[in-house]
C-alpha cells in the first residue's frame, strides 16, 4: 500500500504490534469503522445515491491531492493549487463562451477551452517548479507567490464576474453519468491508477521518492533532481487544472472568487492523513485516496446525523492531528 525506498524494519514485522498496526493501517481501520457505523445508524446510507454524493464531493480534493502527493513526495509543498484551479476554471468558459474570440463549432471550442485551461495550469505548475528547482526558493514561499497572485489573475481575467453557462458538451465532465457512474469519478479513478503506477512502477516514481528521501544523495547518484522537481510541480498544476474544470462543470458556473478556495489545505490534509510523509521520501497515492475518503466520510457522518458544521470541523481537526501522530508512533519504533 505504501511505497518506501528504505526497507521497513523487518524485526518488528514478526510480532504483532498493535500500535505499529494502527500506525500503518489506522486510517483504513477508521474508514471501515465509519462505514460500519453509518450502515447501522445513518438512514439510507447503503444507497447508490449516498455513494455518488460522497464520491462527487470528494473527487476534486482527490484529483488535487494526487499532484500534491507527488510534490510532497519530493519534500516540497504546493500552496498554489486552489488559485490554479480558479485560473483554469476562469479560462475555459472565456473560450467556449466565445468571450475572447468567437469559435463557430461548439465541439471545437470546448476542446480548445479544455486544452488551453489545462496547458495554462501545467505551465503555472512548471513556473512553481522553476522557482523551486532553479531559483532555489523554498517551496512554501515559491508557491505562496501564485497562491496570492493566481486568484487575482483569475479575477482580473473575468473582472470578478460570475460566468454562468449552459454548455452540455462541456458540463458532461461534471454531470455526465454513463452506466450510472459520474464522469468526474471516472476521471479521478483513471488519474489515481496512472499516478499510482508512475509512483510505484516507473523510474520517475523512484526518482521522486529518492529526491524526497535525500536530495543530495539523489543528486550525487546521478538523478536529475531539478528536472524531477520541475516535473512534479507541473503534474500538480495539471491536476489542479483538471479539478478546476470539474468544479465549474458541476456548478454550471465559474466564480473566480470561490473556485478552489482553501483547496490547498484540504489536499494537504488528505495527503497527510493518508500516510505520506510531509518531509518527503515516502508517498502513497492509494493512501491519499483513503485519507480523502476518511475526511469526507467523517464530515458526511457528522453532518447527516445533525451535528453543526463547527463541530464537524473540530472533529476533522482531531482526526488530522491524530492520524499524523499515530503514524509517527509507528515510525519511532
Residues binding another protein: number (CB under 8 A): 47
Report if residue 325 touches another protein, rule: CB under 8 A.
yes
Buried b / exposed e along 80-111 (16+ C-beta atoms within 10 A): bbbbbbbbbbbbbbbbbbeeeeebeeeeebbb
Report if residue 321 touches another protein, rule: CB under 8 A.
yes
Query: How far apart are CB 118 and another protein at their closest, in Å?
Result: 22
Query: How far apart are CB 195 and another protein at their closest, in Å?
Result: 22
Report if residue 279 touches another protein, rule: CB under 8 A.
yes
| Neighbour count for residue 138 (Cβ, 10 Å) | 12
C-beta of residue 87 within 8 angstroms of C-beta of residue 244: yes
Q: Which is nearer to another protein, 194 or 311 (CB)?
A: 311
**Span of 10-18, 185-193, 196-204, 272-280 interacting with another protein by CB under 8 A:** 272-280
User: DSSP letter at 282?
Assistant: E
Q: Which helix (H) or strand (E) holds 169?
A: helix 168-175
Report if residue 324 touches another protein, rule: CB under 8 A.
yes
Report if residue 303 touches another protein, rule: CB under 8 A.
no
Residues within window 126-165 making contact with another protein, judged by CB under 8 A = 131, 135-138, 140-142, 144-153, 155-156, 159-160
Report the relative pairing of strands 282-283 and 163-164 from DSSP bridges: unpaired
Helix crossing, 48-73 with 263-273: angle to 10°? 90
Q: Which helix (H) or strand (E) holds 3?
A: strand 3-4
Query: How far apart are CB 269 and another protein at their closest, in Å?
Result: 6
Query: How far apart are CB 288 and another protein at their closest, in Å?
Result: 14
Query: How far apart are CB 222 and another protein at their closest, in Å?
Result: 23
Query: How far apart are CB 256 and another protein at their closest, in Å?
Result: 8
Q: What is the distance between the alpha carbons of residues 112 and 218, in angstroms, rounded to a whole number?
A: 39
**Span of 37-45, 111-119, 219-227, 304-312 interacting with another protein by CB under 8 A:** 304-312
Lay out the site mask for another protein across 66-85 (x = CB under 8 A, - = otherwise).
-----------x-x------
Query: How far apart are CB 146 and another protein at their closest, in Å?
Result: 7
* Residue whose grid cell is 526558493: 137
C-beta of residue 80 within 8 angstroms of C-beta of residue 128: yes
Which of 18, 102, 262, 306 lies at the binding interface for another protein (CB under 8 A)? 262
Which 3 state secondary structure label does DSSP give 4?
Answer: strand
Q: Which is nearer to another protein, 204 or 312 (CB)?
A: 312
Q: What is the distance between the alpha carbons of residues 208 and 283, in angstroms, rounded to a whole number?
A: 9
Beta strands in 114-263 (DSSP E): 163-164, 253-254
**Where on the chain is the footprint of another protein (CB under 8 A)?**
77, 79, 131, 135-138, 140-142, 144-153, 155-156, 159-160, 261-262, 265, 268-269, 272, 278-279, 308-314, 316-318, 320-321, 324-325, 328
Amino acid at each position: 500500500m505504501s511505497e518506501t525506498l528504505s526497507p521497513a524494519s523487518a524485526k518488528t514485522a514478526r510480532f504483532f504490534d498493535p500500535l505499529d498496526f494502527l500506525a500503518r493501517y489506522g486510517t483504513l481501520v477508521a474508514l471501515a469503522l465509519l462505514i460500519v457505523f453509518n450502515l447501522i445508524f445513518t438512514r439510507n446510507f447503503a444507497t447508490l445515491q449516498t455513494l455518488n454524493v460522497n464520491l462527487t464531493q470528494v473527487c476534486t480534493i482527490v484529483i488535487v491531492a494526487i499532484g500534491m502527493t507527488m510534490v510532497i513526495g519530493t519534500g516540497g509543498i504546493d500552496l498554489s493549487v486552489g488559485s490554479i484551479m480558479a485560473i483554469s476554471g476562469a479560462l475555459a468558459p472565456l473560450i467556449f463562451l466565445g468571450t475572447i474570440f468567437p469559435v463557430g463549432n461548439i465541439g471545437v471550442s470546448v476542446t480548445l477551452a479544455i486544452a488551453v485551461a489545462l496547458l495554462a495550469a501545467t505551465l503555472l505548475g512548471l513556473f512553481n517548479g522553476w522557482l523551486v528547482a532553479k531559483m532555489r526558493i523554498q517551496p512554501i514561499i515559491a508557491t505562496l507567490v501564485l497562491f496570492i497572485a493566481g486568484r487575482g489573475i483569475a479575477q482580473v481575467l473575468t473582472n470578478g464576474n460570475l460566468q454562468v453557462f449552459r454548455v452540455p458538451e462541456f458540463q458532461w465532465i461534471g454531470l455526465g453519468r454513463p452506466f450510472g457512474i459520474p464522469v468526474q469519478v471516472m476521471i479521478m479513478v483513471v488519474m489515481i491508477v496512472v499516478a499510482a503506477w508512475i509512483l510505484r512502477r516507473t523510474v520517475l516514481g523512484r526518482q521522486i521518492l529518492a529526491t524526497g528521501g535525500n536530495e543530495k544523495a539523489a543528486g550525487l547518484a546521478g538523478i536529475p533532481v531539478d528536472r524531477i522537481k520541475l516535473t512534479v510541480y507541473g503534474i500538480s498544476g495539471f491536476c489542479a487544472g483538471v479539478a478546476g474544470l470539474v468544479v465549474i462543470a458541476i456548478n454550471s458556473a465559474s466564480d473566480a472568487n470561490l473556485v478552489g478556495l482553501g483547496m490547498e489545505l484540504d489536499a494537504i490534509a488528505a495527503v497527510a492523513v493518508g500516510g505520506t510523509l510531509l518531509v518527503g521520501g515516502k508517498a502513497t497515492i492509494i493512501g491519499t485516496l483513503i485519507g480523502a475518503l476518511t475526511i469526507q466520510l467523517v464530515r458526511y457522518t457528522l453532518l447527516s446525523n445533525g451535528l453543526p458544521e463547527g463541530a464537524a470541523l473540530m472533529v476533522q481537526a482531531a482526526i488530522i492531528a491524530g492520524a499524523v501522530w499515530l503514524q509517527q508512533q509507528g515510525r519511532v519504533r
